[in-house]
């Protein structure tokens, strides 16, 4: 039985609040360990460590800071399989998907190695007579991240990498459902040469989240999770005077034009809709074929593919996807399938009765496929976060385009077509933050930014890319003049360039 505490002051420490909860192993339903739930006092201890360590870390030149990140990348490669195994066992992802989770996080750390360039300011010589003006980027101080269960390596690294490279100290509050990898990440950073206290990991629930939001020494908070929680964190954090970025739920559409390569489309839908058991904020959960004939051709090819999906334990390298993260998540997703049937959608493939032989207590569910879903149904409006794909038939392109535009979420969207005009028009007019053209999961590469629109994102800066360094730094502008012996006398009007 593993007992997870916290990581404060450069080492693992046991929880002292007396509160804890079980960490499950979704593939067999067993208890893998327990995780301590921090008190406000434990969060405060992490903040004090971060405050003490941050000034010296910020004073180090950025090139030396990123050498720690470079060594960290080396150490992760050494321990890659260990990390993937922990992640798969605690989340339920297949080993292959767990490796991808880690890799997408490392790519942002790799881009963060460019901090010496990202941190450069601007300089104008002789902006006024004898006056030079320049700007500099400086770290905020102590910052925090609150990250979700579905990417326990990727999203913490998306936040930790640029925050540390910019000279901040970081406090991570990962999901209490799968805390093993975040704690190992902290240990590897220390092994890579990060000073103790610069990175702290505090496990917990709402009590520690509220403590983070209310602590005046924490200058910025980033969050990824559901939209209701994102709204709560954004409002409370902003009210406390913090810089806040929050990313919430999603309902990602794939528009399928009549000229689309249907085999390519179905391959894309299978991977993007059912990978990681649908527990991705970028999962395609709505397919929108344009025209009756397109819809019929899609369903003809899609049904047998969904029926033949291989569900297996996280350790099965041949499985398409594994279990859901908890029993509660499984029951919630099954409840949505029940609801869809009640609402009148056609359940073309029903995976609710799936049982994994030898793993009967695991949190498994087969792939589900709905046809004839309409925009007024809850299974269309709400994020299901499971292996459930809904097909909404559109009569024409304009009707198809209106679906993602009118939906409350605006995270990701895709169009599959051979028509460049249609693709260009779609990319221009669709009201969604990330767009794929014949790409089902349009997660930008690490030197671009990641972020949704509407109820999928709160705050004016995205994750990773240039926005990450803008979020984790503040700009200072200096106007400088050195005495030249000329005495101009007092001036009582506002300075201008005249």
Question: In angstroms, rounded to a whole number, what is the distance separating the alpha carbons of residues 28 and 254?
Answer: 33
**Percentage of the residues of the chain whose pLDDT score is greater than 90:** 96
Whole-model pTM over 0.75 = yes
pLDDT in tens, 349-391: 999 999 999 999 999 999 999 999 999 999 999 999 999 999 9
pLDDT band at residue 489 under the 50/70/90 scheme: confident
CATH superfamily membership of 252-437: Aldehyde Dehydrogenase; Chain A, domain 2 (3.40.309.10)
Q: Which helix (H) or strand (E) holds 416?
A: strand 412-416
From 263, 335, 326, select the one nearest 298 (Cα to Cα): 263
Q: Which helix (H) or strand (E) holds 74?
A: helix 62-78
Q: Which helix (H) or strand (E) holds 11?
A: strand 11-13
Q: Does residue 492 surpass a pLDDT of 90?
A: no
pLDDT in tens, 309-348: 999 999 999 999 999 999 999 999 999 999 999 999 999 9
Q: Does residue 113 surpass a pLDDT of 90?
A: yes
Q: Does residue 497 surpass a pLDDT of 80?
A: no
Q: 491: which 2 tokens?
A: 């001036």
Q: Does residue 227 surpass a pLDDT of 80?
A: yes
Does the annotation mark 281 as catalytic?
yes
Catalytic residue of the set 238, 246, 281, 368 = 281
Question: For the packed helices 62-78 and 154-165, what is the interaxial angle rounded to 10 degrees?
Answer: 150
Question: In angstroms, rounded to a whole number, what is the distance separating the alpha carbons of residues 466 and 115?
Answer: 10
Q: 293: which 2 tokens?
A: 């004939």
The residue ranges of every structural domain in the chain are 2-248+456-478, 252-437
Q: Does residue 498 surpass a pLDDT of 70?
A: no
pLDDT at 485: 64
Q: 199: which 2 tokens?
A: 């990175």
Question: How many residues in the chain?
Answer: 498
The fold of the 2-248+456-478 domain, in CATH, is Aldehyde Dehydrogenase; Chain A, domain 1 (3.40.605)
pLDDT band at residue 493 under the 50/70/90 scheme: confident
């Amino acid at each position: 039985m593993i007992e997870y505490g916290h990581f404060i002051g450069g080492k693992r420490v046991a929880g002292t609040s007396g509160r804890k909860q079980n960490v499950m192993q979704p593939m067999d339903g067993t208890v893998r360990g327990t995780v301590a739930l921090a008190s406000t006092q434990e969060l405060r201890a992490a903040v004090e460590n971060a405050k003490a360590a941050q000034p010296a870390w910020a004073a180090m030149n950025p090139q030396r800071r990123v050498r720690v990140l470079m060594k960290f990348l080396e150490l992760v490669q050494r321990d890659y399989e260990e990390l993937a195994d922990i992640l798969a066992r605690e989340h339920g992802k297949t080993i292959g998907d767990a490796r991808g989770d880690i890799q997408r996080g490392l790519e942002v750390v790799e881009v963060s190695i460019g901090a010496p360039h990202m941190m450069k300011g601007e300089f104008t010589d002789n902006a006024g007579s004898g006056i030079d003006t320049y700007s500099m980027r400086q770290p905020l101080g102590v910052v925090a991240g609150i990250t979700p269960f579905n990417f326990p390596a990727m999203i913490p690294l998306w936040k930790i990498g640029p925050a540390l490279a910019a000279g901040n100290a970081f406090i991570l509050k990962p999901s209490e459902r799968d805390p093993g990898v975040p704690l190992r990440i902290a240990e590897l950073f220390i092994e890579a040469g990060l000073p103790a206290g610069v990175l702290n990991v505090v496990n917990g629930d709402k009590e520690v989240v509220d403590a983070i939001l209310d602590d005046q020494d924490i200058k910025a908070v980033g969050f990824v999770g559901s939209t209701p929680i994102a709204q709560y964190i954004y409002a409370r954090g902003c009210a406390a005077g913090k810089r806040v970025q929050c990313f919430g739920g999603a309902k990602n559409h794939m528009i399928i034009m009549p000229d689309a390569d249907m085999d390519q489309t179905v391959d894309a839908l299978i991977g993007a809709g059912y990978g990681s058991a649908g527990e991705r904020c970028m999962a395609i959960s709505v397919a929108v074929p344009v025209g009756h004939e397109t819809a019929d051709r899609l369903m003809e090819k899609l049904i047998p593919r969904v029926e033949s999906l291989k569900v297996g334990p996280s350790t099965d390298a041949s499985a398409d996807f594994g279990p859901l993260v908890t029993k509660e998540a499984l029951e919630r997703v099954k409840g949505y399938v029940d609801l869809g049937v009640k609402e009148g959608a056609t359940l073309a493939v029903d995976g609710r009765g799936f049982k994994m032989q030898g793993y009967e207590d695991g949190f498994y569910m087969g792939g589900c496929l709905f046809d004839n879903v309409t925009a007024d149904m809850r299974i269309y409006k709400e994020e299901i976060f499971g292996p459930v794909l809904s097909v909404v038939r559109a009569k024409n392109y304009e009707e198809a385009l209106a679906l993602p535009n009118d939906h409350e979420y605006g995270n990701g969207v895709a169009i599959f077509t051979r028509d460049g005009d249609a693709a260009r028009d779609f990319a221009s007019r669709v009201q969604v933050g990330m767009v794929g053209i014949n790409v089902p999961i349009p997660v930008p590469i690490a030197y671009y930014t990641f972020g949704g629109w509407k109820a999928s994102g709160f705050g004016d800066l995205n994750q990773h890319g240039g926005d990450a360094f803008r979020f984790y730094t503040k700009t200072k502008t200096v106007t400088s003049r050195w005495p030249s012996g000329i005495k101009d006398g007092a001036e009582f009007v506002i300075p201008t360039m005249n």
